[in-house]
Chains A and B, each alone.
Chain A
Amino acid sequence: MATIRGCNLPEDLFYNIEKHVWAKTLDGGVLRVGMTSVAGKLAGGKLNAVTVKAKNIGQEIKQAKSLATVESSKFVGPVPIPVSGIVLRANEKLAADPNIAISDPYGEGWIAEIQPTAWDAEQGALVSGADGVAKYQAKLEAENISCD
């Protein structure tokens, strides 16, 4: 667990630091994915909705394409998928309380589970571990982003 500029960034996750999304490996090669605490900060304020397009369940989404959308009073935009994968399921808890994506982004607030389709080829685009968190920190410092 690391806290960088007020942003909680666990070292055991894979991050796409450009898109502010994370991935975690589960049993069977499944990935659980979500948005980072930084994304929550950038979305700003209270979320009105976090939505995975229903027709995408069971479909493959290519890396960096839209996995879900986030709506707040200040922001609307996509949650890009960290790596290409087939969407297995969306987190149904988000419908009742989209703000868990901010209050507990790596726990209850995960967004979807996917079966990656090009993990070996694409994981190089993600960072992880202490080194990954350091790279994320450098980006936050360069762009003067803080979660405080």
Chain B
Amino acid sequence: MADDKVMIVMTSGPDTPHRCATPFFFATLAASMDYDVTMFFTIDGTVLLKKGVADTVFPKPGAKPVGEFLRGALEAGVKFLACTASTELNDIDLNDLIPEVKMVGGATMWQIAEECKTVMTF
């Protein structure tokens, strides 16, 4: 009975680790509230979707890695979309990304944004 759609635009990446956990936490929370949740990764955010990378990023030294927050979001049903252009920006081979992410163009982001009640950017 997911009703309202919401989207989180994730632009933060491994260079700013302390900005990388909360967006996944908020996405998981929204899914737990039965929102239909999409995370759209662009700019540096897409780098977090390279296989293995999120487990090397620690928002807080000694605490759990971003990978655990990321997997929590996926398990809660959050959909991951990534901007094709950001893979070029970061020289990412599509085969290096985790399989759960779907690649889309920027126009798709705009269309989803229009359907969403809330769009939040990190």
Complex Cα spacing A66 to B29, Å: 11
Given the known A-B contacts A76-B72, A77-B76, are A53 and B1 also in contact in the complex, defined by CB atoms under 8 Å? no
Total number of A residues with any Cβ neighbor in B under 8 Å: 10
A41 interface contact, C-beta 8 A: no
Complex Cα spacing A71 to B33, Å: 12
Given the known A-B contacts A76-B25, A76-B72, are A65 and B1 also in contact in the complex, defined by CB atoms under 8 Å? yes
Closest CB of chain A to B62's CB: distance in Å?
A: 13
B44 interface contact, C-beta 8 A: no
Chain B residue contacts of A66, Cβ below 8 A: 32-34
Closest CB of chain A to B76's CB: distance in Å?
A: 7
Chain A residue contacts of B76, Cβ below 8 A: 77
B86 interface contact, C-beta 8 A: no
Closest A residue to B73 by CB, please name it.
A76
Chain A residue contacts of B38, Cβ below 8 A: none
A146 interface contact, C-beta 8 A: no
Do B1 and A77 touch (CB < 8 A)? no
Do B32 and A78 touch (CB < 8 A)? yes
B28 interface contact, C-beta 8 A: yes
Complex Cα spacing A77 to B75, Å: 10
Proximity string of chain B (8-34) to chain A, C-beta cutoff 8 Å, 1 when within and 0 when not = 000000000000000001001100111
Chain B residue contacts of A71, Cβ below 8 A: 29
Closest B residue to A79 by CB, please name it.
B32
Interface residues, chain A, with chain B CB atoms under 8 Å away = 53, 61-62, 65-66, 69, 71, 76-78
Instruction: Please provide the 3 A-B residue pairs with the shortest distance between their CB atoms, ordered closest to farther.
Output: A78-B32, A69-B32, A66-B34
